[in-house]
Structure 1
Amino acid sequence: MPLFVGRENELETLERAYDADVFQMVVVYGRRRVGKTTLLTHFAQDKPTLFFTAQQQTDADNLADFSVEIAQFFSLPPGTRFDGWDGALQFLAEQARREPFLFVFDEFPYAAEANPSLVSKMQIAIDHHFAQTKACLALCGSDQGFMESEVLGKKSPLHGRRTAQIRVRPFDYLTSARMVPTVSAEDAFRYYACVGGVPYYLAQIDESRPFLDNIADLFFSTDGLLYEEPLMLLRQELREPAVYNSILRAIGSGATRRGEIAARAGLEATAVSKYLATLERLDIIERVVPFGENPQTSRKGLYRFADACYDFWYTFVMPAVGDIEGGAGRIVAEGLSDEVLGTYLGHRFERVCSQWLLEESLAGRLPIRASSFGQWWGTDPALRQQDDVDVVAADRASKTALIGECKWRNSFDETEVLEKLHHRADLVKGYRIEFFYLFSKNPLSTATLRKMKASGDEFSVTLDDLYRHR
């Protein structure tokens, strides 16, 4: 059986719905490969479940397949067929009145696209039949745009019928590490930084092989699962994949501001906004602003990759496509030395450190009750130059915060880094900086650790510390 990890919150939501004494409709959606079907299958394994997965085929074929699943689940005579969705759904509701069960309708958008009236038919079935039962219905789909507009949207016939919704997202860094339990903390981080938190991708890693061998096979071979995966997902999810590809290429080459992205992608600055918004909605990119600024009004917003797989692909794979197609992919992969990957991993290390701060705050292990997290960048008025703070964690209520520096290097001047970190305390306006964290790949020197302990406001966190609770 495939390894199942994480999803505790999602399972809790599903269990609550299943145990309710009234009809429940749970909407489950998220990008392809993220583990929606695996989640629902795991949840349903000890429950009476009618599990139907629609396909990209005609409405008649989907209805025929649905009839077969119903016949098997209720032990009806072979060859039982329903003439329409109305009759099939009404039959299920009648059965649910006698004995409640879990009804999973997977890839619902495929069925609804083949028969646009299905959404309305489902609404009628819920209002007139299922509402009087204790059945639990899970509508699941990978087309996030469809699920948000045609199932959850205000104009959808199904609006107001859902009792819970679950957007299944990629794993965080700790849960991702549980997918590769035997590798070192360093490799767990490197895999997360390059592959991301999509369970299906992580499941392809052979833990017995070196890191670069796995990366070479996944990304730098024309047969590799992830060689064309980002482009394939763009084609499946979006109507203008070429435009989105150009935008992502621009971001991968270092463009971070809207105008700069538009210029590199060959688009008008006014036209690029809607494409960026769509990529944000899909969690492929994100817009970030300096900590403390209003995301709606700040003019300092930067776009960057949220999804690590896309980030790695557009940074290292896209520029080498010609070489990979020519058969030199493994040579390209072998060139990904620590020096080449260093800057990329350094940026990803900052994201992991921020995730760690959130987890520590939730567990009550930080010296402040932080609820807001981010980074800061801008002009240092004292030095009259640009500067940044890698991580910020703040308690909005008390206006106290901690700041941190993240170093993905084997060695560095520890004293100098701590001195600069204290100087940056004045840069984050509106908060009193009370604590200073130094995140590092390797343990700090004994002398530095002794000084930090004596200070009372400085803390050291190593890569092993980040992965202690995996």
Structure 2
Amino acid sequence: MEKPPEMFDRDHEWAALTRFVTDGQPGATLGVVSGRRRQGKTFLLDSVCRAVGGFYFGATEATDAESLRRLSEALTAFVRPASPFHLADWREAVDALLALGRDRPVPVVIDEFPYLARANPELPSIVQEAFRTLREERSRSRTRMLLCGSALSFMGKLLSGNAPLRGRAGLELVVRSLDHRLAAEFWDLTDPRLALQVNAVVGGTPAYRREFARGDTPSGAEDFDAWVIRTVLNPETPLFREARYLLAEEPDLRDPALYLSVLAAVASGNATRGGIAGFLERKAVDIAHPLNVLEDTGLLQREQDVFRANRSTYRIAEPLITFYGAVMRPVWPQLERPGAAARVWKARRRRFVSNVLGPHFEQVCREWALHHAGAALLGGLPASVGQGVVRDPSARTGHEVDVAVVGVGDGGKTPLLALGEAKWNDTMGLGHLDRLRRIRDLVTAAGRYDTGDTRLLLFSAAGFHDRVRDAARSAPEVVLIDAARLYAATPA
């Protein structure tokens, strides 16, 4: 299948779907496609159907009877039979979809499948029965059925544990946000510092540029503030209320005020369970459920401390929600007044740098170390990249590590490939390097990791002093990474 020219990237997803829907083997097959909202799943799957003459059905929030009636009408328009379809129930509906593939492999997409399953909880079991091994309707069909959904908590459980469809799917595809490099290309940004600032606001969600911002991108570094004011802080644009809508659209978030408060706590810099509980003035045990729900929905991510097994931190997965919680939510009534955006942004910009841009830069550095740095630069293949706190017993304090790259163990001690510090606005010098060396010594003394070849990574979007550049030239284990290097096609 030829990918549509207007589709940006998604080469991996397109190739996976191509293999699935054009597979000529006998027997109907089932696939599951998921991903957060606004990532282009509908465009991707609709394009697949258009490419090979498949059937696409987009479900809506409706009663069971209405959804069956809409599906009957869609099937009638697709097949054009002598008499129209009048599907009595979902067993008949699924068999009608399987019948579409009797002559050739045919993709059949049911988009927003969670809407249908919410109206009829038996639907996953009905699909399971329809795809039972040796069932005639399945064996005589080559339908390539794709169930798609944005409710990550529901989609994540669809194939897990004792779920009805476990073991039935031949494809499980997650459509993810664009990473920082692809997002810069998509937004047509060549200045790495500007690209990082835009990414800290809107992340890698494709719809935010094309539909929500109507193609409006900053013309240069000097236009960033004006761009924020005329897009995300502008009540006339969809971006203004998007963070709130993202929560409202999640079916499992039945108390939006509580979940908004939890996310606001994290956006304000309270990353631990105790910190979040303190922000909400509740006991830590009382917020376990909302934290778990937000994790299931993909809006919050829990990250284990690399150096302390009993400690973890939380991070908001969607940058726009972080921006909303840290910058917009505390002054929401002011922002709703026309013409107030410029005044509010001037007052809140420092908050943006400290609570949004700084932590986002650290996260981009961690993702770069995991996916783009390469084994040659790190001295080995990274198994995981995280952050953590290294205890200093003599000083009775702890040292925060922004980037910790853990390698693959071979039976002995697990290698610690790299320790890194990331600063958005600080020009880094020898003091930052000496701090990393001290942390490396403490990790060595703790004995958990092998630090014999640990690299020391200094990340800065503001640059480096000459003396630390000289140190990097004379010490191979010291690596300097500026903003431009984070966007380089290959690690230098």
| Contact 2:327–2:352, Cα closer than 8 Å, also in 1 | no
Q: Matches of 1:241 and 1:251 in 2, distance apart? A: 15
**Residue matched to 1:140:** 148
1:323 to 2:334 alignment: yes
Pair 391,25 (structure 1): closer, same or farther in 2 beyond 3 Å? same
Task: Provide the C-alpha distance between the structure 2 equivalents of 1:416 and 1:289, rounded to a whole number of angstroms.
Answer: 27
The corresponding residue for 1:354 is 366
Rate the CA distance shift 1:365–1:4 in 2: closer, same or farther, 3 A: farther
Q: Once the 2 structures are TM-superposed, how far is the Cα of residue 396 of structure 1 from its aligned partner?
A: 2.9
1:96 counterpart (68, 92, 101): 101
CA distance in 1, matches of 2:267, 2:476: 41
Equivalent position of 1:54 in the other structure: 59
The superposition leaves residues 33-80 of structure 1 with CA deviations (integer Å, 9 ceiling, x where unpaired) of: 232212223444422210111111233332222223222322335854
For residue 289 of structure 1, report the CA deviation from its aligned partner.
3.2
Correspondence for 2:184? 177
- Once structures 1 and 2 are overlaid, which stretch shifts more, 309-318 or 3-12? 3-12
Residue 14 (structure 2) pairs with residue 15 (structure 1)? no
Structure 1 residue 410: deviation in Å? 5.5
Could you tell me which amino acid in structure 1 is paired with residue 360 of structure 2?
A: R
Q: What residue in structure 2 maps to residue 431 of structure 1?
A: 450
TM-score normalised per structure 1:
0.89
Work out which of the residue numbers 224, 231, 240 in structure 2 matches 1:227. 240
- Structure 1 pair 266/392, CA: closer, same or farther in 2 (3 Å)? closer
AA matched with 2:148: C
Cα distance in 2 for residues equivalent to 1:116 and 1:401: 48
> Could you list the runs of 5+ residues in structure 2 that have no partner in the other structure?
none
Partner of 2:258: 243
Q: 1:158 aligns with which of 149, 157, 165?
A: 165
Which of 213, 217, 220 aligns to 1:207? It is 217
One-letter amino acid of the structure 2 residue matched with residue 248 of structure 1: L
Q: Assess if the C-alpha contact under 8 Å between 2:366 and 2:386 holds in 1.
A: yes
AA matched with 1:142: S
Secondary structure in structure 1 of the residue aligned to 2:164:
coil
1:143 is matched by which residue type in structure 2? Answer: A
What residue number does 2:483 align with? 463
Cα separation, 2, equivalents of 1:467 and 1:138? 35
Cα pair 1:31 1:144 within 8 Å, conserved: yes
Please report how far the alpha carbon of residue 217 of structure 1 lies from its aligned counterpart in structure 2 after TM superposition: 3.1
Change (3 A) 1:340 1:243: closer
Paired position in structure 1 for 2:91: 86
| 1:466 Cα deviation after fit | 0.7
In 1, distance between residues paired with 2:164 and 2:144? 19
Q: Which of 408, 414, 418 is the equivalent residue of 2:433?
A: 418
Q: Distance in 1 between matches of 2:306 and 2:458?
A: 18
The whole-number CA distance in structure 1 between the counterparts of 2:376 and 2:45 is: 31
The CA distance in 2 between the partners of 1:121 and 1:102, in whole Å, is 19
Residue 41 of structure 2 is aligned with which of 36, 41, 47? 36
Q: Distance in 2 between matches of 1:160 and 1:31?
A: 24
In structure 2, C-alpha distance between the alignment counterparts of 1:132 and 1:198, rounded to whole Å: 40
Change (3 A) 1:378 1:306: farther
Amino acid at match of 1:211: F
Give yes or no for contact 2:42–2:111 (8 Å, CA) kept in 1. yes
Distance 2:392 2:56 in 1: 58
The code of the aligned residue for 2:486 comes to: L
The C-alpha deviation readout for 1:319-369, integer Å capped at 9, x for no partner, is 111211233123212445468524532221111111111123557553322
Whole-angstrom CA distance in 1 between matches of 2:426 and 2:416: 31
- Distance in 2 (CA, whole Å) between partners of 1:9 and 1:273 is 36
1:188 to 190, 195, 210: 195
Q: 1:187 to 1:130 in 2, by over 3 A?
A: farther
Number of the residue aligned with 2:417: 401
Quote the sequence identity (%).
Answer: 28
CA 1:333–1:45: 2 relative to 1, 3 Å: farther
What whole-Å deviation, never above 9, does each CA across 1:130-167 have from its counterpart, x for those lacking one?
34422211001122233334x32444433321122123
Q: Residue 104 of structure 1: SS of its match in structure 2? A: strand
Aligned pair count?
Answer: 464
Q: Which residue of 2 aligns with 1:130?
A: 138
Q: Deviations over 1:94-129 (max 9, x none)?
A: 331222211011111222333334333323332232
Greater Cα offset, 353-362 or 260-269 = 260-269
Q: What's the CA shift for 1:446? A: 5.1
CA RMSD of aligned residues (A): 2.7
Q: Is the CA contact (8 Å cut-off) linking 1:3 and 1:179 kept in structure 2? A: no
| Alpha-carbon separation, structure 1, partners of 2:397 and 2:123 | 59
Go from structure 1 to structure 2 and tell me whether the alpha carbon gap of 1:458 and 1:156 turns closer, same or farther (over 3 Å shift). Answer: closer
Q: Is the 8 A contact 2:307 2:389 kept in 1?
A: no
- Structure 1 window deviating more from structure 2 (28-37 vs 311-320): it is 28-37
In structure 2, how many angstroms separate the alpha carbons of the residues matched to 1:338 and 1:321? 17
More displaced stretch, 389-398 vs 272-281 = 389-398
Task: Give CA deviations for 1:151-187 in whole Å, capped at 9, x if unaligned.
Answer: 3244443332112212333222122222212442112
The answer to whether the Cα contact below 8 Å between 1:393 and 1:402 also exists between their aligned partners in 2 is yes
Q: CA 1:199/1:45 → structure 2, altered by over 3 Å: closer, same or farther?
A: same
Q: Distance in 2 between matches of 1:356 and 1:220?
A: 29
**Structure 1 pair 184/52, CA: closer, same or farther in 2 (3 Å)?**
same
Secondary structure of 2:471's match? Answer: helix
Measure the CA separation in 2 of the matches of 1:131 and 1:91. Answer: 14
Match of 1:444 in 2: 464
Query: Cα gap change, 1:2/1:381 in structure 2, threshold over 3 Å: closer, same or farther?
Result: farther
